[in-house]
């Protein structure tokens, strides 16, 4: 019984935590299915099901262990309810309110609510463990239906803004949604549609699996084309908010591709990467702004390549002092250089040129003929084109002679030098080309805000770019895109949850590093490196099973 008890208590501790910090009470304010299911109730049910699923090994179905795990997941919540009822701890823990007690006891009298909570834990645990007994296809259909209802219910405000009020789509919208969330009939319809569509898609996909490398390559190209088509159409239909979020994702994709050249390919850990982003932004401001700080009054299309070239120059100069530094010391040294750039921008010495803490204002929007690219949707298309060009360049670099030299440099500098690779030239090329991508992102960022401030270029930007590369997959261009969507786009869509979105952000990072340490879409080299020990262990176990030959 040790496993179900410990798994249940772990899940219960997590439930107590989200209750004590106020997440559960906030979730209860949001209906997923109006007047039927709140997000808090669904969260408690899913936690009980998770406890039951973790109660026994993956190949074992044991409903009794699932029920025990669900019970022990509910016990910490019952104790928390007792603390709220008898000790009144709200002066110390402001989130432990009578409202939270009402959620935990289902609005029933205290002792009846506690029994209901424990019983619900047992039932959810049994269900979570018994799900393994259901065949894979029906189980995946049920899960697909639940996930579809959750997504369309949680993001209902965003989705309703995208849907028209008239015509067939408007009629469907009125059937599925009311202002607060999904209608019961709409939720049931969504569940049925998703539960039917997912197995059909799985069967079709299973029959059309590619058999050769050419078919696999064509399938990937088709998926990439569909993704680009969706990206091109979605902002125009969804409006400025989605365009703004996707534009921010595109800027981080640009920076991620640049840092991926340095970290993912060349193995040069750079925590001062935000400095190149700042150079691109400030250069564009100085060359285009209608401000006393402006040096020239060029059009954006002339200022952008100059800003990129200046970022490349700064990247090369940036790399010179750290040519002989490796590993963690390189990270500290580059972080110091990045902070030097930030301090210089803020200093009184550079204030006559860069504006100091007040920054540079009145940066004009780019013009394309008589059309002003002023809205977030229009600027998103500019970012999308820049990201596509940058992705092509990065892909060609990865498969070039220079890219292979970077990968050799990443694996072992001494061996790379012995093979005839010029370390100085290769490192400076990585810093310069990586800075070019960041400078391009900074240039677009400046015209997006029409102003630049030193506070926009903090160390956190470098950390975020490094994090999206790790989460997406080190050395992988598709991984950069997925990492940017996961770490930049999703938190922006969850902005309505306030400061709690960073709690979800951190939890997602922890789960990600446990579940897929190689990233969401890693490169083949990175996947082999991380799983080499596992493969060797499997080979050794197989060798042990081979009977020894007689002498």
Tell me: the pLDDT tens digits for 62-104? Answer: 899 999 999 999 999 999 999 999 988 888 888 899 999 999 9
Interval 328-345 mean pLDDT: 88
Residue 295 DSSP label: S
Q: Identify any residues that bridge with 452 across adjacent strands, giving them in sequence order.
A: 360
* Whether residue 145 is found in the same domain as residue 198: yes
186 in Cβ contact with 175 (< 8 Å): yes
* Whether residue 184 is found in the same domain as residue 250: no
Per-residue pLDDT at 138: 86
Per-residue pLDDT at 72: 96
Q: Is 2 contained in some domain? A: yes
> 3-state SS of the chain: helix, strand, coil percent to 5?
75, 0, 20
* Whether residue 405 is found in the same domain as residue 310: yes
**Structure tokens belonging to residue 316:** 């090369």
* Whether residue 384 is found in the same domain as residue 323: yes
Q: Is 544 contained in some domain? A: no
pTM equals 0.82
As a whole-number percent, the residues of the chain with pLDDT over 90 amount to: 42
Average pLDDT, the chain: 86
- Would you say residue 222 has pLDDT above 80? no
* Whether residue 161 is found in the same domain as residue 121: no
The CA angle 385-386-392, to the nearest 5 degrees, is: 90
By mean pLDDT, which of 288-297, 409-418, 528-537 is the weakest? 528-537
* Whether residue 353 is found in the same domain as residue 433: yes
Residue 509: other Cβ atoms inside 10 A: 15
- Total domains present in the chain: 3
- Would you say residue 353 has pLDDT above 90? no
Interatomic CA distance for residues 6 and 137, integer angstroms:
30
- pLDDT confidence band for 389 (50 / 70 / 90): very high
Q: SS3 of 37, please?
A: strand
* Whether residue 46 is found in the same domain as residue 182: no
Per-residue pLDDT at 60: 85
- Would you say residue 19 has pLDDT above 70? yes
Q: Is 506 contained in some domain? A: no
Q: Where in the sequence is the domain holding 146, given as residue range(s)?
A: 136-206
- Would you say residue 547 has pLDDT above 60? no
Interval 449-473 mean pLDDT: 89
Per-residue pLDDT at 10: 95
* Whether residue 144 is found in the same domain as residue 128: no
- Would you say residue 346 has pLDDT above 80? yes
The CA angle 51-53-58, to the nearest 5 degrees, is: 140
Return phi, psi of residue 488, to 5°: -110, -50
- pLDDT confidence band for 430 (50 / 70 / 90): very high
By mean pLDDT, which of 99-113, 355-369, 533-547 is the weakest? 533-547
Per-residue pLDDT at 431: 94
Q: Is 28 contained in some domain? A: yes
Please state, in angstroms and as integers, the Cα–Cα distance from residue 414 to each residue in 145, 246, 400, following that order: 54, 42, 21
Interatomic CA distance for residues 142 and 128, integer angstroms:
13
By mean pLDDT, which of 80-84, 309-313, 411-415 is the weakest? 411-415
- Would you say residue 546 has pLDDT above 70? no
By mean pLDDT, which of 65-74, 239-248, 361-370, 519-528 is the weakest? 519-528
Interval 242-271 mean pLDDT: 91
Only one residue has tokens 């190689």, namely 518
Residue 452 DSSP label: B
Interatomic CA distance for residues 479 and 466, integer angstroms:
12
pLDDT tens-digit map of 451-462: 999 888 888 899
- pLDDT confidence band for 208 (50 / 70 / 90): low
Among the candidates 117, 133, 149, a domain finishes at: 133
* Whether residue 84 is found in the same domain as residue 160: no
- Would you say residue 499 has pLDDT above 80? no
Q: Is 491 contained in some domain? A: no
Q: How many CA atoms lie within 13 A of 459 on its CB side?
A: 12
Q: Is 384 contained in some domain? A: yes
Residue 407: other Cβ atoms inside 10 A: 18
Per DSSP, the residues of 216-239 read HHHHHHHHHHHHHHHHHHHHHHH-
Q: Is 489 contained in some domain? A: no
* Whether residue 378 is found in the same domain as residue 320: yes
* Whether residue 171 is found in the same domain as residue 289: no
**Total residues belonging to the chain:** 551
Q: Is 512 contained in some domain? A: no
- pLDDT confidence band for 470 (50 / 70 / 90): confident
As a whole-number percent, the residues of the chain with pLDDT over 70 amount to: 92
- How does strand 367-368 pair with strand 37-38? unpaired
* Whether residue 176 is found in the same domain as residue 291: no
**Structure tokens belonging to residue 470:** 């790790």
Among the candidates 426, 441, 471, a domain finishes at: 471
Per-residue pLDDT at 219: 72
Interatomic CA distance for residues 441 and 447, integer angstroms:
10
Return phi, psi of residue 181, to 5°: 165, -155
Q: Map 389-434 to HEC letters.
A: HHHHHHHHHHCCHHHHHHHHHHHCHHHHHHCCCCHHHHHHHHHHHH
**Angle (deg, nearest 10), helices 376-398 and 213-238:** 160
- pLDDT confidence band for 110 (50 / 70 / 90): very high
Among the candidates 425, 441, 471, a domain finishes at: 471
Largest CA-CA distance found in the chain, in angstroms, rounded: 91
Per-residue pLDDT at 66: 93
Per-residue pLDDT at 200: 84
Per-residue pLDDT at 534: 53
**Angle (deg, nearest 10), helices 459-472 and 501-515:** 40
By mean pLDDT, which of 40-44, 302-306, 351-355 is the weakest? 351-355
- Would you say residue 536 has pLDDT above 70? no
Interval 275-296 mean pLDDT: 90
**Structure tokens belonging to residue 423:** 């370390």
Per-residue pLDDT at 518: 79
């Amino acid at each position: 019984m040790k496993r179900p008890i410990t798994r249940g208590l772990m899940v219960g501790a997590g439930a107590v935590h989200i209750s004590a910090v106020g997440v559960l009470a906030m979730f209860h304010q949001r209906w997923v299915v109006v007047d039927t299911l709140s997000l808090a109730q669904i969260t408690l049910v899913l936690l009980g099901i998770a406890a039951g699923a973790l109660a026994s090994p993956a190949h074992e179905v044991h409903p009794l262990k699932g029920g025990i795990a669900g019970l022990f997941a509910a016990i910490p919540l019952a104790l928390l309810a007792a603390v709220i009822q008898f000790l009144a701890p709200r002066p110390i823990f402001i989130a432990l309110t009578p409202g939270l007690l009402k959620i935990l006891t289902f609005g029933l009298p205290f002792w009846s609510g506690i029994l209901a909570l424990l019983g619900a834990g047992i039932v959810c645990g049994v269900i979570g463990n018994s799900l393994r007994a259901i065949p894979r296809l029906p189980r995946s259909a049920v899960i697909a239906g639940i996930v579809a209802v959750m997504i369309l219910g949680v993001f209902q405000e965003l989705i309703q803004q995208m849907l028209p009020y008239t015509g067939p789509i408007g009629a469907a919208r009125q059937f599925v949604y009311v202002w607060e969330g999904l209608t019961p009939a709409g939720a049931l319809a969504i569940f049925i549609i998703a539960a039917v569509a997912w197995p059909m898609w799985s069967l079709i996909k299973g029959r059309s699996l590619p058999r050769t490398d050419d078919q696999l390559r064509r399938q990937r190209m088709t998926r990439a084309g569909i993704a680009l088509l969706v990206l091109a159409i979605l902002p125009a239909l969804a409006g400025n908010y989605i365009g703004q979020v996707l534009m921010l994702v595109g800027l981080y994709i640009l920076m991620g591709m640049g840092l991926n050249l340095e970290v993912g390919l060349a193995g040069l850990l750079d925590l001062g990467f935000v400095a190149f982003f700042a150079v691109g932004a400030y250069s564009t401001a100085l060359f285009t702004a209608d401000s006393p700080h402006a040096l020239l009054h060029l059009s954006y299309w002339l200022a952008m390549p100059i800003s990129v070239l200046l970022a490349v120059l700064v990247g090369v100069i940036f790399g010179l002092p750290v040519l002989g530094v490796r590993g963690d010391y390189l990270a500290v040294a580059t972080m110091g250089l990045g902070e030097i750039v930030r301090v210089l921008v803020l200093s009184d010495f550079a204030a006559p040129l860069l504006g100091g803490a007040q920054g540079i204002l009145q940066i004009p929007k780019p013009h394309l003929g008589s059309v002003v690219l002023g809205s977030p949707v229009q600027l998103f298309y500019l970012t999308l084109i820049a990201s596509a060009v940058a992705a092509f360049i990065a892909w060609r670099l990865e498969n070039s002679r220079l890219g292979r030299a970077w990968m050799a440099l990443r694996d072992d500098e001494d061996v790379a030098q012995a093979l005839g690779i010029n370390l100085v030239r290769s490192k400076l090329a990585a810093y310069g080309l990586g800075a070019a991508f960041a400078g391009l992102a900074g240039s677009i960022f400046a015209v997006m805000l029409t102003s630049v401030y030193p506070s926009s270029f903090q160390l956190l930007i470098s950390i975020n770019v490094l994090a999206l590369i790790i989460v997406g997959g080190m050395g992988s261009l598709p991984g950069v895109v997925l990492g940017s969507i996961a770490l930049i786009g999703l938190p922006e869509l969850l902005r309505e949850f306030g400061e709690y979105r960073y709690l979800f952000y951190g939890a997602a990072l922890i789960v990600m590093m446990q579940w897929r340490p190689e990233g969401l879409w890693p490169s083949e080299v990175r996947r082999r490196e991380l799983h080499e020990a596992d493969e060797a262990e499997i080979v050794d176990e197989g060798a042990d099973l081979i009977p020894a030959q007689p002498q």
